[in-house]
Structure 1
């Protein structure tokens, strides 16, 4: 389906109309009059805790205008600072030693995860007098979902999924997967830049490559730059991680928004979910038209080492399976697996907090022999090992 041909959902149309009505009104920073005539300042609703509290109580704040999906509301003006009081006379009594304070600042990836979780919601303003602003939940994750022997994904269930296209930008050949992690970057496998050449286009919001239904709301982005991990070597399977910088920022929608990065090695789950458009049958070697998902058990490193013992004698896996930078996932003797074409795609877990968000624990890297045979689990690059490098590239100005 070509870009722009899909029908937009009704709530986005309402939002567009509401924005048009409010466009001539006040902008961020302007003085305004709130409910009951109270003086205020126009702010984005995300920057006004009082407005969010009022919404939770069913009271709509006065609306100044809109910026994209977010309303600009009349936020109560801060109370004037109290007059300074004279400093007390110095005491001659000895001062007790200060109590030490332990600071545990959140790292950048964790803060950005919380920020992107806000994109789960859209704000709809009605034409009632006075105007009513509704916070609408767009989460499409369906409980715990159970590629080879996988299931078809539901619309908007994995809004971070990306497809990497090669060759002609207007008619690309899809060859790898990836995950949207910010407004400008997609995370994938570094071998997706070498074995097929550099990708030319990234598609987001795709569900089925052959349909043009309303559920298919994809958008294509030109590739501005590819950045393999600096320690990646094409002849080996280590440090198989890379970033794709898009040519323009992504506007988040219910179908297109980032997932979080797993910052801790241990994520406390016995299984994870892989998703992609890879081969559904190794003998046919054709990519799936529809996005697929499969639930895979996490395997102990010892199991993985034994499964890849013979390959560890080759240059590509000379150091064996390294637990700090690799994850093995997939049941032995069961035909659930990722396969060719899934490379670079996510191995993810659903988070309890923030709401309706996934955490990217692994990136599909390599397997052994024919996929889906149940002889060996697949190997994924462990994302937590590389978060510092990702942060330095994706959010260099965040501290």
Structure 2
């Protein structure tokens, strides 16, 4: 293993002790309203009556994909949203069933993937529609973007409007071994955007925002989990 891969192993290990539980868009800009119709905001009611937020994305009229570490007691899913104003945004759709990956580990952060089944199907419109999932491939995707309502770099509150930023993935074997894509640097999601999609090449979802810090970002690799995803979708 070369020195660069050794460094990534060390960084991944350090991240597990303080992995990102939600994310923020750092270095981005406000998205064009409703230009990402697959995006959803997840309002999470925790067991201590605390409210937290994650992102997610529509994969059908009945299912949302997000990160497994975004598990909660009750979920409300906001679809077709651009601006979010707390206590003024209408109540979201409730989730009838949460399906975190069976091998997700809160200790390691691996297999950080979850499907949420909505209590009612959504009606597709110009502002609400699912995104296609990437198939298995060996080539590293190019021209990727992440979006969300997380905190901006210099603020401690959620962004009132969805933001987005371009990210560049790096081709390291350690990423493949852990079923993840990796980007280096400060730019990208961090606090407030967990569970959102890594969208590359003609509006296709390649990954799910998982964890990271100011040095790197990790995305669960969707192509490696297609059998699991499609198996649960077919059961419905």
TM normalised by structure 1 equals: 0.49
Unaligned regions of 5+ residues in structure 2, if any? 1-24
Name 2:41's counterpart in structure 1. 163
1:242 and 2:114 correspond: yes
RMSD between aligned alpha carbons?
Answer: 2.4
2:101 alignment partner, one of 207, 223, 229:
229
Larger radius of gyration: 1
1:341 and 2:192 correspond: yes
Name 2:235's counterpart in structure 1. 396
* Correspondence list, 1:1-399, <5 A: 147-167=25-45, 173-193=51-71, 197-210=72-85, 220-266=92-138, 269-281=141-153, 284-301=155-172, 321-323=175-177, 325-330=179-184, 332=185, 335-351=186-202, 358-368=203-213, 371=214, 376-396=215-235
Residues 83, 160 of structure 2: 8 Å contact kept:
yes
Cα distance in 2 for residues equivalent to 1:266 and 1:286: 38
Cα distance in 2 for residues equivalent to 1:296 and 1:150: 10
Cα distance in 1 for residues equivalent to 2:83 and 2:138: 33
Cα distance in 2 for residues equivalent to 1:153 and 1:350: 18
Cα deviation, 1:80-133, whole Å, max 9, x if unaligned, reads xxxxxxxxxxxxxxxxxxxxxxxxxxxxxxxxxxxxxxxxxxxxxxxxxxxxxx
Deviation at 1:223, TM superposition (A): 0.8
TM normalised by structure 2 equals: 0.80
Of Structure 1 and Structure 2, which has the larger fraction of its residues in strand? 2
How many residues of Structure 1 are paired with residues of Structure 2 in the alignment?
208
Cα distance in 1 for residues equivalent to 2:146 and 2:165: 5
Specify the SS of the correspondent of 2:168.
strand
Residues 76, 91 of structure 2: 8 Å contact kept:
no
Cα distance in 2 for residues equivalent to 1:184 and 1:148: 31
Cα distance in 2 for residues equivalent to 1:167 and 1:228: 17
